[in-house]
Structure formats: C-alpha cells, structure tokens
Structure 1
C-alpha cells in the first residue's frame, strides 16, 4: 500500500510491542528531522491552555502534562499556547468543522478555524512538525445524541465515517499549505473510558471510536499521503495500557483522579460530571495522581500523557 495503515492481528502482540517501546523509552534510530517548531491543532487531548485551562490536572508547573509537550521536548523544543505567543492552537471540546462544541458552545474554534487562524498570520516552514488530535468531541456529541434518544446508536456509528472524512480534509489543507511533517493521533478507544463504564455503553463507544479511526485511515489511504502524514495509533496505545496498566506504573484505570464537578455541561457528557478543565492539585481524590490513568471520565492524567508522548516521539523518530 502507498500509505500503510494496519490494525494489529493479535491483541497480545500489540501489548508486547507497546510495552517494549515503553521500556525502551525512545527509539535508537537517529532521527533525520530536527523541527524548527512544533505546532499543534486539535481538541482537549492537545489543549495546553489555549482555552484557558488544560483538560487534565492543572497547575503542575514542574512536569510536561500533555503529549504534545513531551513530543516537543524530545526534539529539544517547547510548545506553548498561541494566546501566549506560542504555536499550540488546540482547544478543548472543539469539533472538526461542526458547531457548537461538545459542551454546546458555538464560540469554540473548530479544528478548521484553528488552521484558518494559523494560515492567516503564519506559514509552515520546511522543518515544522505539526501535531493534530481530533475525534473525541465529535464522538461525544453523536454518542450523547444516541444516549438521549435523538438518534439511534446505528445512526451515530454511521455518521463517524463522514465526520472522519472531515478530518482528512483538514489534514489535506495542512499538507497543501506546505506542512511536510504531519502527525495525527485520532481518537482513543472511548470504550476504555470511565465514561463508557459509567453509562454502561462500552461496546457502543468502542464501535464509535473504531468507526471514526478506520474511516479516517481509509480516506487517507485513498488520498495517499505517505511522504507527509504519520498516523500515531492513540487507539492501540490506550488499549494496551488498559490491558496491562501495571507496565505503565498505573494502579487505577477505572475512576478519575479529579473531583472537580462542573455545574454545567463541562466536557460534554452531562451536567454535574467531573471536568478536568476545572481540576487542580486541590481537587484530587488522591495525592498519588501519577498512578491514575484518567483525570475525568474522558481525558487523561499528565502521567499517561507523558508516556503516550514519549511513545509518539519514538514513533515519529522511526519515521522521519
């Protein structure tokens, strides 16, 4: 295939591979890419404060709390929010092109809006590394519609394919605008989330996530982007961590470490739910927060972000 996408044939093989990568810490391959800048677009998986807070534990100044920061650090670079003069445009709850966002806010810039904002004031350099996360908010919105009886679960799953094509369209924009090194992580398997278990919809949310990611990979294959685009398998990584969390020094993958309750819609899964955008070191259920996988019912802790970012950086180095 011109653009190689693959799902592991064996779940155990995937676990062994990811655990091996985690143990190694980084690739032994000498990277040819030395990014001038690391630029990020996306949703709450990549928001490092552009929306006003992070979708994880906030206020940890002595650690890299997001996977994009870990990737940047691997190349000796830093990344900060665009509102602070940096290059991270990622905004929590944002969708790919649709509005309102996962929490019902129509003012949140979509992924498309973020790219518009960058291109209106800047241009990609030949060695810029571009990181993209997307899918989580769109899955939340459609899943909530199904759970509320507005559409059927089958209809929600079917809509994932055209929504994933929207992501492909935005990646195409990046490439056509001069980005040479684009990394896309898609959505993790939200059937592994605390939310999926709390609403007893593990299979449904897993099917939603798979439909989105597979749709994106198929459409990317059809366009053939191999020289410029790398898919880093967020879905596979979280599957493996959930399967054997002890290899990642995690004791709790079933409940959130934050207890910061949003009175309103928060992260989009309903009123009165834990919202990691409100979470600080003062709103934790345990001081051992690095032993938890989830900050709230959907978004990850800094500890898991760092480990995924380390693995992502290793994967990027292997490619470029």
Structure 2
C-alpha cells in the first residue's frame, strides 16, 4: 500500500512539473493572454450565485475565487441561470448523483460541461476555462461512512474515481477547443471547522490529498499540458492556516470560528442537518464579534469573501505567469 501511494505521489509531482513548466521558468511568454470570456464549472466553491446566493457571506464584497479572476481580467462572470458562463453550483459532484445534500436535480460537473457544449458557442483560444470539483464528492462519501453504509477504503476508491472523472472532463474541455484551462482540486478539508468539530481531520485530509494526487496523476501523460494549468488550492490555503496575521495572506488570523450563524434546518452543505449554511449568510447573520475580513471560514467548509478573493488573486498570478 505504501509503495502504491508513493508511486502516486511521485506521478503527481511529475504531473505538476509537466503542467506548470511554463510558469516555473520553462518558457518565455511571447504575448500576454487576455481572454474574451471566462467559463467556469464546479461545485459550491465555484458557485457565483446559481440559486441567487454564493457559499460565503452574501454582502457587497461577496465574490467567488473565479469571479475575482474574471474581474482581474476586466470581465464579469455571471451564473448560467442568469445567462452567464458560471455553471458551478453548490454541492455538485463530478459525475455521481445525488449531490452532497441528497438533491438529484443538481447538475454534476459532467452535466455542466454537457450543457455548455450543447448550448453555447464553442470553446476558442480566447476563452479562459476554470474547473473545480471534489468537495461535493468527499462530503457525500464521508456522509456514507458516518451512516455506516461504507468503510474508509470504499470511500477512498470512490473519491479517487471522482478525481479520475474530473480529469476526463478537463481533457474533454481541452480537446474541444479550449487552450487555456485552469484546474483546481480541493483544499485540505482536514483543516476545516468541519474536521475539527467532528473529529475527522485525518480522514478528511487523506481523502482531500488522494483526490488531488489522483487528479494530477490522471492529467499527466496526456497531450494537453500546454493547455492546462493546475492551481493548487490545498497548497495555498495551507499557507494561510500556517501564517496567521501575515499580510501576505490578508492578515487572516481566525481559522477556527465560523463567520456565519445562518443555521439551515435541512441538509444544507451536506455535513448534517441544523448546521450553518453560508448560502443563507448575510451581514445580518454574521457571528457576533467576528471580523469577517480576518476570518477564513464562512461555514464548516466554505470560505469568506476575503479568503475567496485571496485565492482568486493567487490563481490569477499563476495564470498570468503561465499565459
């Protein structure tokens, strides 16, 4: 088992090297890429208001990381429900239904790509495509463990399959005309309040890490490296949690408390009924005494507007360095 996981880790490292070589000094940028359109697929982390709100504090500063990237390019990313190109939606999984909250009507990432290819102008060299997933699948698989319907090995196999399915969608996008594709896996869910509150930090870290390893491994070796950039959310948010009060990371100093107290009596974000759901959070439901500009998490999993913008800026810099 250790040999197998070491091999995966080495393959993932090779994948990162192959996919980000230009961003690491391996090439010269001849002309700076400026997209005409940003297209985004994903789960709650990428939801720009598909059902009317985002998974964060819904105030004047609210913006998902991909919206921040679009803004940095001088563009706007609106939800597809409002005629835009932001297809991400809360609790979505890569291929499997129902979603993390048990809703079978939520479009998977695969279905989001299906819809785009069937209804929108084709991908072009002037598009920037942003893809993220994994959180919804991990939430659903952990719920099954906690319900006693599967064990950790089964959950790991399902999560790795979800990562393989996501890689397949990335390749599908790249092979459908997209020449600039940014891919984001999951941040370390073992560092979230969900992990702390439920005592599942080791389990959640393992599933998060193995999802990312499998995603990068499955992208490696295919003729799309020049068109795909892996943007490491796990790496970035680990730096945030390890460097509190550091101005480089927005001065964030609270990585344990929830910025919101917007309780959802239903399934919410999929971590249990009666828990905080940031999709319901506004300035009126901020936890008393919390400075949301210095707090990482809005609910048990998803981040505040400040934290989303920080990652958006980091991702923009990676994209700009590459293309």
Query: Shared topology, TM-score over 0.5?
Result: yes
Secondary structure in 1 matching 2:287 = coil
The CA RMSD measured in Å over matched residues stands at 1.7
- 1:209-262 per-residue CA deviation (whole Å, 9 max, x = no partner) reads 011000010010032421111000001111111111211211210021100011
User: Which residues in structure 2 correspond to 1:17-96 (within 5 Å)?
Assistant: 32-58=32-58, 60-61=59-60, 63=61, 65-96=63-94
Check the 8 A contact 2:264/2:276 in 1, yes or no. yes
Check the 8 A contact 1:160/1:215 in 2, yes or no. no
Q: Give, in angstroms, the shift of residue 158 of structure 1.
A: 2.7
User: Which residues in structure 2 correspond to 1:206-217 (within 5 Å)?
Assistant: 206-217=205-216
Check the 8 A contact 1:95/1:101 in 2, yes or no. yes
Check the 8 A contact 2:15/2:217 in 1, yes or no. no
1:168 is aligned to: 167
Greater strand content: 2
Check the 8 A contact 1:31/1:317 in 2, yes or no. no
CA change 1:31–1:52 in 2 (3 A) is farther
Secondary structure in 1 matching 2:40 = strand
Query: Is the counterpart of residue 308 in structure 1 residue 311 in structure 2?
Result: yes
Secondary structure in 2 matching 1:5 = helix
Mean Cα deviation higher: 243-252 or 39-48: 243-252
Q: Give, in angstroms, the shift of residue 30 of structure 1.
A: 9.0
Secondary structure in 2 matching 1:318 = helix
CA distance in 1: counterparts of 2:152 and 2:175, whole angstroms: 35
User: Which residues in structure 2 correspond to 1:121-132 (within 5 Å)?
Assistant: 121-122=119-120, 123-132=122-131
Query: Is the counterpart of residue 297 in structure 1 residue 296 in structure 2?
Result: no
Secondary structure in 1 matching 2:308 = helix
CA distance in 2: counterparts of 1:245 and 1:237, whole angstroms: 13
Query: Is the counterpart of residue 183 in structure 1 residue 185 in structure 2?
Result: no
Structure 1 segments unaligned to the other structure (5+ residues) = 7-28
CA distance in 1: counterparts of 2:31 and 2:319, whole angstroms: 8
Q: Give, in angstroms, the shift of residue 155 of structure 1.
A: 2.1
Q: How many residues align?
A: 296
Check the 8 A contact 1:64/1:70 in 2, yes or no. no
Check the 8 A contact 2:40/2:131 in 1, yes or no. yes
Check the 8 A contact 2:15/2:219 in 1, yes or no. no
- 1:250-298 per-residue CA deviation (whole Å, 9 max, x = no partner) reads 1210021100011011000000000001111110114621111000000
1:153 is aligned to: 152
- Compute the TM-score of the two structures, normalised by the length of structure 1: 0.89
Structure 2 segments unaligned to the other structure (5+ residues) = 1-10, 18-28
2:16 is aligned to: 5
- Compute the TM-score of the two structures, normalised by the length of structure 2: 0.88
Q: Give, in angstroms, the shift of residue 3 of structure 1.
A: 6.7
CA distance in 1: counterparts of 2:165 and 2:51, whole angstroms: 22
2:276 is aligned to: 274
Check the 8 A contact 2:262/2:280 in 1, yes or no. yes
Secondary structure in 1 matching 2:283 = coil
1:109 is aligned to: 107
CA change 1:31–1:309 in 2 (3 A) is farther
